[in-house]
Amino acid sequence: MTMSYTARLLVVDDEEFGGAAADAVLDRLPERSPRLGIATGDTPMPLYVELARRVRAGEIDVSSGFLIALDEYIGLDCQDPRSYAAYVRTRVGAPLGIPAHNILVPDGLAADPDVEAAAFERRIDDLGGVDVQIAGIGSNGHLAFNEPGSPLESTTRAVALSEQTRADNARFFAGCSDVPHRAITQGLGTICRARSVVLLARGATKAAALAAALTGPVGTEVPASVLQRHPAVTVIADRSAAADLSIRHH
Ligand code: F6R
């Protein structure tokens, strides 16, 4: 297998993960009013912890920035601690000193999720787009909540979550039956309009999906493979997530 395009791949030890990810993000982030695309979940937490540490140490100031979420569960109130709105506000916005009015997350309780999705897509454009999109990958290759089969040019829309994703995310809920069935997600086309993407992967459960996304064919079966078409992607993986990548790396 070879990587047929020019993404930058860093394979790092666990203790280096947050620092390497923070360096990659800050390298591409403008100092004035940076617009940072936020992935939720477990994978990016070392990055958010490290960015917060640098803010507290006075090394960086991103307080004039905007945070733009990738997705939100349909049916969860933004005050629900399991909502992605709560995640972005409390785990990223507050520690980075970014005020709530500069945080964009789709409204999971919108009366019409399709109307909300279209409005969210416009809000991203109105802000001038995303400078650096932080992304994770699902064990099934999903990118944001674009599940296998999602059109590569898709825009923000309401989607059904796959059973695998609901099972994977059951750990954040009382159980699988508690996980919402639907979400509003940025589309693959939306994500590809970000000026840069930093794709993060940690753990053995991501190894097959990461290899398929980076070295397999580009196609709807592995949504994250669309990033092969993006001109400015940095991939940061720990050794377990990189285990199926038979490519040369440093
Ligand atoms: C989250 C998101 C998802 C996650 C992916 C990995 O906003 O869009 O694509 O990045 O499901 O989740 P974790 O990091 O929890 O394994």
Assess contact for 161 and 167: CB atoms under 8 A: no
Write down the H helix ranges in 73-112: 84-87, 94-96
Give the pLDDT of residue 1: 45
Q: How many angstroms separate the CA atoms of 226 and 143, rounded?
A: 9
Give the pLDDT of residue 41: 97
* Of 46, 27, 41, 54, residue with least CA distance to 83: 41
The lowest-confidence range among 40-44, 150-154, 243-247 is: 243-247
**Looking at residues 56-66, what average pLDDT do you find?**
97
Integer-rounded Cα Rg, in Å, for the chain is 17
Instruction: Taking each helix axis as running N to C, give the angle between helix 17-28 and helix 45-56, from 0 to 180 degrees, rounded to the nearest 10.
Output: 70
pLDDT tens, position by position, 85-115? 999 999 999 999 999 999 999 999 999 999 9
- Is 71 a residue of the active site? yes
From the CA of 148, how far away is ligand 1's center (Å)?
14
- Determine if ligand 1 sits within 6 Å of the CB of residue 142: yes
71, 142, 156, 186: which to mutate for ligand 1, most atoms within 8 A of CB?
A: 142
Instruction: List the structure tokens of 246.
Output: 């038979």
- Determine if ligand 1 sits within 6 Å of the CB of residue 196: no
CA 154 to chain centre: 16
| Residue 56 phi, psi dihedral angles, 5° rounding | -60, -35
**Looking at residues 77-83, what average pLDDT do you find?**
97
Cα dist. 159→24, 34, 88, 174 in Å? Answer: 30, 28, 21, 22
Taking the CA of residue 172 as reference, the ligand 1 atom at the shortest distance is 15
pLDDT tens, position by position, 20-57? 999 999 999 999 999 999 999 999 999 999 999 999 99
What count of other Cβ atoms lies within 10 Å of the Cβ of residue 80?
A: 14
- Is 142 a residue of the active site? yes
- Determine if ligand 1 sits within 6 Å of the CB of residue 39: yes
Q: Exactly one of 50, 121, 140, 169 is catalytic; which is it?
A: 140
Q: How many angstroms separate the CA atoms of 109 and 177, rounded?
A: 19
pLDDT at 162 over 50: yes
Residues in the chain: 250
CA 123 to chain centre: 18
Q: How many angstroms separate the CA atoms of 128 and 109, rounded?
A: 26
- Determine if ligand 1 sits within 6 Å of the CB of residue 136: yes
CA 155 to chain centre: 15
pLDDT tens, position by position, 188-205? 999 999 999 999 999 999
Assess contact for 23 and 53: CB atoms under 8 A: no
Q: How many angstroms separate the CA atoms of 199 and 9, rounded?
A: 9
pLDDT at 4 over 60: no
